[in-house]
Amino acid sequence: MKISFLIHNAYGIGGTITTTFNLAGALAERHDVEIVSALRHRERPHLVLDPRVRLRALVDLRKEADDPLHQRPAKVFPPAEYRHHQYSELTDRRIGECLEGLDADAVIGTRPGLNVHIARQAPQHVLRVGQEHLTLDNHSPRLRTALRRAYRRLDVITTVTEADAAAYRRKMWLPGVHVEALPNSVPDPGLPPADSTAKVVIAAGRLVPVKRYDLLIEAFAQVAAAHPDWQLRIYGKGEEQANLRRLIERLGLWNNVFLMGAATPMEAEWAKGSIGAAASNFEPFGMTIVEAMRCGLPVVSTDCPYGPGEIIEDGTDGRLVPVGDRDALAAALLELVGDDERRRRMSRAALDNARRFAPGPVVAQAERLLETAAAARSTGRPAAPQDHRTHSPLAGRGHAARDAAQAAAAGVLRSIRKGRR
């Protein structure tokens, strides 16, 4: 199967880029995969892309930022979309030309504005998939109205959580569109897992207000008071860095809390810790939570919408605490810091439970999803939504079963192509 991903800027840093690279690389083991980047601003991507995945860009800002067409606002990319100011008549034209000439079986968009392009401009013979990497409720009413009109032309919408899939089904009214939760995947770590002996708590992500690193630092002050030999290491960069540094100094935590800067990849850093931490007010998925668990770290997280509660099993592989509750966050951290055996037990559970986010299960579900969409297209009947955790027919099955399913999907796609000739 030929699969094209359409992404905002593959040359930057961010969760959507990471998960797109992960999924594309995993799919490339069995499929012909490319990533089309709407924008480009540097020679090479920050992240490492599987060499089997082709990468091409449509607008090179190093050369075309001053193009007259790029000075005019986009008309296809919806004005209510957060990134609209970065799009233009030039991107409208290039994306439209790319989609019109697309030689692929499926095209997958990775943000609302690009999903609108796919819905409106992708050829009828191509399966049109729109990914939601945030949440429906995160979008303004104006954007939701624009999406409701355009998304009816999609074949599939994927969300990263079951809760958001339910919101799409309940609020958007998209008859005939298959809505399903497809979680982000994290590659198998290349290093041995953490051994739970390091006296280190690790957090990672953009240093922005919604991540509430200030709350985490304040909570860790209670940990440091009781266990002064423990450290908190925060990886990432962003607008809150100076404020966080001042908070560390004000609380006298310069020997316990460290702003480590950005690290890519993170797995070597996760393996140096014993506990992961996340204090966000809002988390569409929680990629760093999965990364930490895949490296053997139980994670203490706020139970914010939507992701953490679908990733962490409270009391088994981590702890969930109320959003914004500094004392509850501190108590959960202290619970794991002060109990070596409980920490080791949760570490083992984190490793086991996080395997559902490995590339194998997620790719198997993605393949089944495309197969289902192709079959629905050929029969004219919409596919019923499924819960990927309990109903994925390919989950946990061997290569023979996946090969059979893939052969069936290929047969359906061949039928579709014959029908359009």
Per-domain boundaries in the chain:
2-185+359-420, 200-356
- Residues 118 and 102 sit within 8 Å (Cβ to Cβ): no
Could you give the C-alpha distances from 56 to 11, 14, 74, in angstroms and in order?
Answer: 11, 18, 21
Distance CA 411, CA 414 (A): 5
Pairing of strands 127-131, 106-109: parallel
Torsion of CA 248, 249, 252, 254, to 10 degrees: 70
Residue of 69, 67, 77 lying closest to 8 (CA atoms) = 77
pLDDT at 403: 34
- Residues 83 and 112 sit within 8 Å (Cβ to Cβ): no
Torsion of CA 371, 159, 359, 271, to 10 degrees: 180
- Residues 179 and 385 sit within 8 Å (Cβ to Cβ): yes
At 165-214, the pLDDT tens digits run 999 999 999 999 999 999 999 988 989 999 999 999 999 999 999 999 99
Token pair, residue 162, equals: 């079951």
Burial letters 172-209, b for 16+ CB under 10 A, else e: bebeebbbbbbbbbbbebeeebbebebebbbbbbbbee
Low-confidence ranges of the chain (pLDDT < 50): 385-421
**Rg for the chain, CA atoms, rounded:** 22
What element of type H or E holds 159?
A: strand 156-159
- Residues 269 and 234 sit within 8 Å (Cβ to Cβ): no
Token pair, residue 276, equals: 């992961």
Report the DSSP beta bridge partners of residue 179: 157
pLDDT at 375: 87
Token pair, residue 248, equals: 């560390």
H helical segments located in 172-286: 213-226, 241-250, 267-270
- Residues 309 and 303 sit within 8 Å (Cβ to Cβ): yes
Distance CA 377, CA 355 (A): 32
pTM: 0.84
pLDDT at 420: 34
Token pair, residue 75, equals: 């008309």
Distance CA 374, CA 124 (A): 12
Cα four-point dihedral sign 389, 391, 395, 397? positive
Residue of 18, 23, 5 lying closest to 291 (CA atoms) = 18
pLDDT at 384: 52
pLDDT at 374: 87
Region 2-185+359-420: CATH code: 3.40.50.2000
Token pair, residue 290, equals: 């999965």
- Residues 220 and 203 sit within 8 Å (Cβ to Cβ): no
- Two domains, one topology: 2-185+359-420 and 200-356: yes
Token pair, residue 68, equals: 């007259």
- Residues 86 and 113 sit within 8 Å (Cβ to Cβ): no
Homologous superfamily of 200-356: Glycogen Phosphorylase B; (3.40.50.2000)
Q: What is the DSSP string of 187-209?
A: PPPSSPPP-S-S-EEEEES--SG
Distance CA 225, CA 228 (A): 6
Token pair, residue 301, equals: 């997280």
Report the DSSP beta bridge partners of residue 259: 234
- Residues 52 and 33 sit within 8 Å (Cβ to Cβ): yes
Report the DSSP beta bridge partners of residue 318: 299, 314
Residue of 374, 375, 367, 413 lying closest to 394 (CA atoms) = 367
